Amino acid sequence: MSSQPAETEIARIRWEDFRTLGDRSGGVPGALRRLLAAADEDDALAAYWDLENVVVVQGQLHSAALPTVSVLLAGLLGELSADARDMVLELLRQIVMGESDEGEVALGDPGLGDRCREEARTGLWLVYRELGTRRRETAESILERIESEKPRLTAHLGGLRGK
């Protein structure tokens, strides 16, 4: 793995305390490690699909999505392959666009989407950095959902027009 902060995040979380689709929380740490270590598109996509449809399913969030956000942000600090970075941002986008799964709502957690977006705001500038890359569209989509100061986003996007 190329990101010590991400590894520390993965190791400190008690993944078994979180829910996923199909009770697969035990597989989340390994999938995150594979995603962050992916050297090419095939590896990144394989790891991505071991997380998408597990922590987030068609916009429906399971509780494991919340600590996944923290790991993804920590991963963005590291030297990731371009393909891994693409999939990290895409998974982050899927999560911040989501809302609580009906099972989470039934268990008393209707605000999981808001908490995931709040967690994502802790890495706001990591996402802003991606505006200058091939991941601009994904980063912009994430920022539109998590940025609380819309004039700041507008200013940054205006500075990129034509580039």
Confidence of residue 160 (pLDDT cuts 50, 70, 90): confident
Angle formed at CA 92 by CA 90 and CA 94, multiple of 5 degrees: 70
Q: What is the pLDDT of residue 1?
A: 41
* Mean predicted lDDT score pLDDT of the chain: 94
| Closest to 29 in 3D by CA, of 43, 11, 45 | 11
The whole-number pLDDT of residue 3 equals 66
Tell me how far apart the alpha carbons of residues 149 and 163 are, in angstroms, rounded to a whole number. Answer: 23
Question: Is the pLDDT assigned to residue 11 strictly greater than 80?
Answer: yes
This prediction's pTM: 0.94
